């Protein structure tokens, strides 16, 4: 039989990295909007805008044509940010063959609808198996070959097992999980907490306070995640605690950097204008607070982050607010 054909849509840092991983194991094509990006990937095996100085797998091919990208696609990987996820799928719908599994890489929630990315896949591409690849995966580290692990989450274990080898390597271990809701919520929710950790970093609050933010952050992620139908255990796994830790700790995390910028007194508009990448936690923070309201879940850290994002108060006041976490805590659960 012919080799599997993987198509990745979106050539940001993580889409490009996942495409480079898949190119080791399958015939892989990445779609980028910009012709200059496509040329650079095809000719120089690099993507300098997002992964400066790093080499991509030599077999990875790129195209600006969505038709070409989807023509022979067996597995579709969505590497576009959450705010353009639905619009991209609408373009994909008439071009992709039926039943092709779709894997989301985006760690955000849709504004307005509060949908997870796999819910958007079901709405725009009915009948296609939908899942995600997520975990503690700072793109540069993965592309450099530093050991890491991720989870492919699909409702159907057989499909998850079939997809697992596509992304695996000797230094990139891929686990499977059938808890799609829990696996999918870890990423968006940790991004919001990571903004808070970044603010703490910028303000020099100290390691005890940062550990409090991360640990209590996991508690609120888990509370909301379980209310939305995820399994509690999933949130202590790679897509939950794992991704929360790497994003809060790594100076390369965009969401942590956003928090540090807030601590330096910058506004949301200034921060967004200064970045060439998307920090999903900015937009996700208000969606998370809507969900917290609907489901009656207390999310004190996310609430402070959402207030800072909206410009209602600054990072210093947010951390003053978080002191109430320590002052008011009677029971840890």
Instruction: Write the burial class of residue 57 (CB in 10 Å: 0-12 exposed, 13-18 middle, 19+ buried).
Output: middle
Q: Which of 10, 96, 107, 284 binds ligand 13P (CB under 6 A)?
A: 107
Q: Please, which residues have CB within 8 angstroms of residue 292's CB and are 6 or more apart in sequence?
A: 224, 298, 299, 302, 303
Q: Among 252, 272, 131, 253, which residue's Cα sits nearest to residue 190?
A: 253
Tell me the closest approach of the beta carbon of residue 4 to ligand 13P, in angstroms: 25
DSSP assignments along 118-170, one per residue? HHHHHHHSTTS-EEEEESS--HHHHHTT--EEEEEE-SSHHHHHHHHHHH-BT
DSSP assignments along 239-263, one per residue? IIIIHHHHHHH-TT-HHHHHHHHHH
CB atoms within 10 A of CB 19: 29
* Interface of this chain with ligand 13P, residues 173 to 202, rule: CB under 6 A: 191, 194
Nearer to ligand 13P, 234 or 253 (CB): 253
Nearer to ligand 13P, 27 or 243 (CB): 243
The residue at minimum Cβ distance from ligand 13P is: 255
Nearer to ligand 13P, 129 or 198 (CB): 198
Tell me the closest approach of the beta carbon of residue 247 to ligand 13P, in angstroms: 5
Tell me the closest approach of the beta carbon of residue 242 to ligand 13P, in angstroms: 8
User: Could you tell me how many helices (H) and strands (E) the chain has, helices first?
Assistant: 15, 8
- Our finding on whether 106 is near ligand 13P (CB under 6 A) is no
Q: Which stretch binds ligand 13P (CB under 6 A): 27-35, 38-46, 77-85, 239-247?
A: 239-247
Q: Among 186, 63, 193, 86, which residue's Cα sits nearest to residue 136?
A: 186
User: Side by side, which strands form the sheet with 27-31?
Assistant: 61-63, 27-31, 5-9, 75-78, 102-104, 130-134, 148-153, 172-177
Tell me the closest approach of the beta carbon of residue 269 to ligand 13P, in angstroms: 19
Tell me the closest approach of the beta carbon of residue 68 to ligand 13P, in angstroms: 29
Residues identified as active-site: 190
Tell me the closest approach of the beta carbon of residue 254 to ligand 13P, in angstroms: 4
* Interface of this chain with ligand 13P, residues 197 to 216, rule: CB under 6 A: none
Nearer to ligand 13P, 138 or 315 (CB): 138
Is the four-CA dihedral 236, 220, 283, 322 of positive or negative sign? negative
Nearer to ligand 13P, 280 or 304 (CB): 280
User: How many residues bind ligand 13P, per CB under 6 A?
Assistant: 14
Nearer to ligand 13P, 93 or 171 (CB): 171
Q: What count of Cα atoms within 13 Å lies in the side-chain half-sphere of residue 188?
A: 30
Distance CA(119)–CA(285), nearest Å, equals 19
Nearer to ligand 13P, 252 or 316 (CB): 252
Q: What helix, strand, coil percent values describe the chain, rounded to 5?
A: 55, 10, 35
* Interface of this chain with ligand 13P, residues 119 to 148, rule: CB under 6 A: 136-138
* Interface of this chain with ligand 13P, residues 243 to 262, rule: CB under 6 A: 243, 246-247, 253-255
> What tokens were used for 190?
């940790």
> What tokens were used for 20?
């480079």
Tell me the closest approach of the beta carbon of residue 153 to ligand 13P, in angstroms: 14
Map tokens 């008011």 to a residue.
328
Interface residues with ligand 13P (CB under 6 A) are 107, 136-138, 191, 194, 243, 246-247, 253-255, 279-280
């Amino acid at each position: 039989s012919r080799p599997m054909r993987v198509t990745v849509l979106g050539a940001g840092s993580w889409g490009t990295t996942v495409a480079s991983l898949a190119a080791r194991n399958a015939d892989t094509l990445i779609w980028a909007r910009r012709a200059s990006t496509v040329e650079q990937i095809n000719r120089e095996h690099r993507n300098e805008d997002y992964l400066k100085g790093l080499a991509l797998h030599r077999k990875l091919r790129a195209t600006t044509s969505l038709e070409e990208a989807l023509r022979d696609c067996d597995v579709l990987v969505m590497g576009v940010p959450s705010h353009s996820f639905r619009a991209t799928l609408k373009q994909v719908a008439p071009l992709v063959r039926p039943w092709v599994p779709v894997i989301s890489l985006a760690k955000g929630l849709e504004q307005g609808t509060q949908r997870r990315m796999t819910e958007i896949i079901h709405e725009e591409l009915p009948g296609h198996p939908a899942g995600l690849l997520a975990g503690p995966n700072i793109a540069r580290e993965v592309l450099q070959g530093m050991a890491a692990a991720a989870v492919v989450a699909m409702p159907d274990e057989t499909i998850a097992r079939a997809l697992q080898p596509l992304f695996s390597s000797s230094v990139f271990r891929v686990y499977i999980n059938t808890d799609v809701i829990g696996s999918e919520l870890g990423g968006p929710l940790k991004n919001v907490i990571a903004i808070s950790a970044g603010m703490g970093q910028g303000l020099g609050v100290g390691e005890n306070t940062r550990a409090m933010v991360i640990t209590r952050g996991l508690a609120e992620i888990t509370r909301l995640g379980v209310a939305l139908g995820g399994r509690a255990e999933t949130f202590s796994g790679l897509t939950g605690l794992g991704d929360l830790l790497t994003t809060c700790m790594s100076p390369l995390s965009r969401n942590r950097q956003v928090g540090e910028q807030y601590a330096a007194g910058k506004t949301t508009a200034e921060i967004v204008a200064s970045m060439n990448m998307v920090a999903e936690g900015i937009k996700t923070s208000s969606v998370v607070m809507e969900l917290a309201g609907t489901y009656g879940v207390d999310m004190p850290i996310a609430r402070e982050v959402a207030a800072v994002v909206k410009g209602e108060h600054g990072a210093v006041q947010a951390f003053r607010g978080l002191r109430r976490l320590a002052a008011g805590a009677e029971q840890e659960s």
